[in-house]
Amino acid sequence: MAECDAMNEQMPLLLTESLGREERERAHQHIENCAACAAEWKAYRATWSELGELPEVEVPARVKEQFLSTIGASRDSKVIPMRSRLAPGPRPSALPRWFAQAAAVVILVGGSYYAGNRTAPLRVLPSPATIQSVEQTPYSIAETRVLNASAISPNIEGRPNIQNVQFVDADASDNQIGVSFDVTSRVTVTGAPTDKSLVRLLSYVLERDNSTSPSRSNAIDWVRRTYSDPNHADPEIADALAKVLRNDTHEGVRIRAVETLKDMSPASSGTRDALIDALKNDPNPAVRIKALEALSNLAKAGTALDAKTIDTLRAKASQDDENPYVRVKAAELLSEIP
């Protein structure tokens, strides 16, 4: 409970991305495992989102000109109006909002360059622009990241879709500012199917709660093709599919998940339990049939049927209101017990 109280205090900081990396990780882990805090976090984010719906404000030309001349930028520089969101916690500064927005854009584009070349006049490159990471440390796929301006390239290539710009000036006396934003970028992670980071990434994709995303369905199909190969078998992938099988409300996705598990071996106890639960409880008969086929494959591969599996099969074979094909298949599997 004390942990939840602390979490509630941290949520505004988490929302404004003001927590350190370790604290952030701890916070997310707690939220993932605590229903109350997950609900609270959801509410925070909803409020945050609503605040973002406030009308956009155009920067007055006079102020823009004054500001740009202050930092030495060209009058011809292109300033793109952006939508700003207000934090529910402490406001970053008392500046008028339009001023903050103007500053956001300029700092965003030139901030990193300025950080490394404070004495030279700042020039805003005309584009195209994407943010390229030159960080030497392993790339972390996380909801939020904190980058030091000196660690990112001053070149902005392509046209990154930057949204929700925020400013952080935790200590006005330390000569440090921060700019937070969401940036949509295309990331391609390559590696062997057995690479742990790829396995983790795919598990994450499979377990995402957005069950109606076509990309997840495609991900399951792809996982099936890749990880059905015994050389690539990975229990973490199987466990992720087992979670999909247990939790997904999309029946087509559950069917795909159990089809994939059917072709994968060997199964962990968690996977086997998920198959048994699906056989017992899934309302879709196709899922139950495929769960049976998966259990049958396990038995053929030499996995002895444990007492729980046998009881479930016996109950299924005897269940009058079960689909006859499921009953027959359950009986067939039982008949193979040595």
How near is the Cβ of 259 to another protein at its closest, in Å?
A: 8
171 binds another protein (CB under 8 A): no
Q: In terms of residues, how long is the chain?
A: 338
Sign of CA dihedral 83, 88, 89, 93: positive
299 binds another protein (CB under 8 A): no
Residue (of 254, 320, 332, 325) closest to 295 by Cα position: 332
- Of 236 and 251, the one with the shorter C-beta distance to another protein is 251
**201 in Cβ contact with 234 (< 8 Å):** no
306 binds another protein (CB under 8 A): no
Residue (of 252, 250, 225, 251) closest to 237 by Cα position: 225
Among 201, 250, 297, 303, binds another protein (CB under 8 A): 250
Binders of another protein among 269-288, rule CB under 8 A?
Answer: 283-288
- Of 216 and 272, the one with the shorter C-beta distance to another protein is 216
How near is the Cβ of 327 to another protein at its closest, in Å?
A: 6
- Of 274 and 287, the one with the shorter C-beta distance to another protein is 287
Binders of another protein among 202-221, rule CB under 8 A?
Answer: 212, 214, 217, 221
DSSP H/E element including 85? none
Separation CA 16–CA 146 (nearest Å) = 12
184 binds another protein (CB under 8 A): no
38 binds another protein (CB under 8 A): no
Long-range contacts from 228-234, C-beta under 8 angstroms, 24+ separation: 228/260, 228/263, 228/264, 229/193, 230/265, 231/194, 232/193, 232/194, 233/264, 233/265, 233/266, 234/193, 234/194, 234/199
How near is the Cβ of 249 to another protein at its closest, in Å?
A: 7
54 binds another protein (CB under 8 A): no
Q: Which amino acid is at 167?
A: F
Separation CA 86–CA 98 (nearest Å) = 12
Residue 150 per-residue DSSP state: G
How near is the Cβ of 274 to another protein at its closest, in Å?
A: 18
- Of 244 and 255, the one with the shorter C-beta distance to another protein is 255
Binding site for another protein (CB under 8 A): 212, 214, 217, 221, 249-252, 255-256, 283-289, 310, 314, 317-318, 320, 323-328, 331, 334-335, 337-338
